[in-house]
A and B are shown apart, each in its own frame.
Chain A
Amino acid sequence: MIANQLALIKREIWEHRSIYVTPVAIASIVSLSVLAMLVFASGFAKELDIAIFGASNLAGEGERKAALTAFFVGTSWLFLVGLAILTVFYCLDSLYGERKDKSILFWRSLPVTDAETVISKLLTAVFVIPVVAVLGIIATHLVNLIITSVWVSMKGGDAGLLIWGSVPLFDNWMAAFIVLIASGVWMSPFIGWFLFVSAWTRRAPLLMAFMPLILIPLLEWIILRTRFFATAVLDRGDAMPLFRALDFETFFEEEHWRAGLDKISLLGHLDVVQFLSSPAMWGGVIVCGLFATAAIYVRRYRDES
Chain B
Amino acid sequence: MTSLVNARGVSKHFGTVRAVDNVSFQIEQGKILGLIGPNGAGKTTLLKAVLGLTDFDGELSVLGLNPFRQRKELLKNICFIADVAVLPRWIRVTQLLDFVEAVHPNFSRKRAEGFLGQTKVRSNAKVRELSKGMVTQLHLSIIMAIDARLLILDEPTLGLDILFRKEFYSNLLNDYFDEQRTILITTHQVEEVENLLTDIMFINDGRILLDKSMDELADDYVELLTSGENAIKAKGLGPIAENEMFGKSVLLFEGVSRDSLRGLGELRTPSVADLFVAKVKEARQ
Contacts of A43 in B (CB 8 A): none
A234 at the interface (CB under 8 A from B): no
Asked whether B212 is an interface residue with its Cβ less than 8 Å from the other chain, the reply is no
* Cβ contact within 8 Å between A106 and B88: yes
A113 within 8 A of B: yes
Count contacts between A and B, CB distance < 8 Å. Answer: 73
Q: Report whether A113 and B85 are in contact in the complex, using a CB–CB cutoff of 8 Å.
A: no
Q: Which of A101-129 contact B (CB under 8 A)?
A: 101-113
Q: Looking at B82, B98, B105, which has the most chain A CB atoms within 10 Å of its CB? A: B82
Q: What is the minimal beta-carbon distance from A144 to any residue of chain B, in angstroms? A: 33
The reply to whether B87 and A110 contact each other, CB–CB distance below 8 Å, is no
Q: Size band of the A side of the interface? A: 20 to 34
| Distance of B214 from chain A, by nearest CB (Å) | 28
Q: Render A52-83 as a binary contact track against B, CB cut-off 8 A, 1 for contact.
A: 00000000000000000000000000000000
Does A227 reach chain B (CB closer than 8 Å)? no
Q: Is the CB of A4 within 8 A of B95?
A: no
**Residue B254 is within 8 A (CB to CB) of chain A in the complex:** no
Asked if A113 and B72 sit within 8 Å, CB to CB, the answer is: yes
Within 8 Å by CB of B102, from A4, A104, A107, lies A4
Q: Cβ of B74: which chain A residues have Cβ within 8 Å of it? A: 111
Report which residue of B54, B73, B88, B99 has the largest number of chain A beta carbons within 10 angstroms of its beta carbon: B88
Mask: chain A, 1-31; 1 = CB below 8 Å from B; 0 = not: 0011011101100110000000000000000
Interface string of A267-305 (1 = CB under 8 A from B): 000000000000000000000000000000000010101
Q: How far is the CB of A198 from chain B (nearest CB, A)?
A: 16
Indicate if B271 sits at the interface (CB-CB under 8 A): no
A107 CA / B71 CA spacing, docked (Å): 13
State the CA gap A260–B272 with chains docked (Å): 89
Instruction: Report the Cα distance A107→B90, complex, angstroms.
Output: 13
Contact A105 B86, beta carbon cutoff 8 Å = yes
Bound complex: CA A103 to CA B85 (Å) = 8
Q: Is A98 an interface residue (CB 8 A)?
A: yes
B44 touches A111 (CB 8 A): no
Other A-B contacts than A14-B95, A111-B73, 9 sampled, CB-CB below 8 A, are: A10-B99, A15-B88, A98-B88, A102-B85, A103-B87, A109-B82, A110-B103, A111-B74, A303-B53
Cα A10 to Cα B48 with chains together (Å): 28
**A305-B46 Cα distance, complex, nearest whole Å:** 13
Q: Sample 30 A-B pairs with CB under 8 A, ordered by A number.
A: A3-B102, A4-B102, A4-B103, A7-B98, A7-B99, A14-B92, A15-B90, A15-B91, A101-B89, A102-B85, A103-B86, A103-B87, A104-B86, A105-B82, A106-B82, A106-B88, A108-B53, A109-B51, A109-B80, A110-B75, A110-B103, A110-B104, A111-B72, A111-B74, A111-B103, A111-B105, A112-B72, A112-B75, A303-B14, A303-B53
B76 contacts which chain A residues (CB < 8 A)?
111
Which residues 44-60 in B have Cβ within 8 Å of A in the complex?
Answer: 44, 48, 51, 53-55
A25 CA / B47 CA spacing, docked (Å): 46
A108 and B14 CA atoms in complex are apart in Å by 22
Candidates B55, B79, B95; contact of A109 at CB < 8 Å:
B79
Considering the chains assembled together, what is the distance between the CA atoms of A102 and B51 in angstroms?
Answer: 17
Bound Cα distance A247, B243 (Å) = 94
Cα A112 to Cα B103 in complex, Å, equals: 7
Nearest A residue to B102, CB-CB? A7
Whether the pair B99, A101 counts as a contact (CB closer than 8 A) is no
Q: Is B100 an interface residue (CB 8 A)?
A: yes
The answer to whether A111 touches B86, judged by C-beta atoms less than 8 angstroms apart, is no
A303 — which chain B residues lie within 8 A by C-beta? Answer: 14, 48, 53-54
Q: 8 Å CB contacts to A: which residues of B118-139?
A: 139
Contact present for A6 and B102 (CB under 8 Å) = yes
Give the nearest-CB partner of A11 in chain B. Answer: B99
Residue on A with the closest CB to B101? A7
Flag if A103 contacts B102 (CB, 8 Å).
no
Tell whether B83 is near chain A: CB-to-CB under 8 Å: yes
Q: Which of B14, B83, B91 makes the CB contact (< 8 A) with A14?
A: B91
Cα–Cα distance between A111 and B48 once the two chains are bound (Å): 15
Q: Which residues in B have their C-beta under 8 angstroms from that of A98?
A: 88
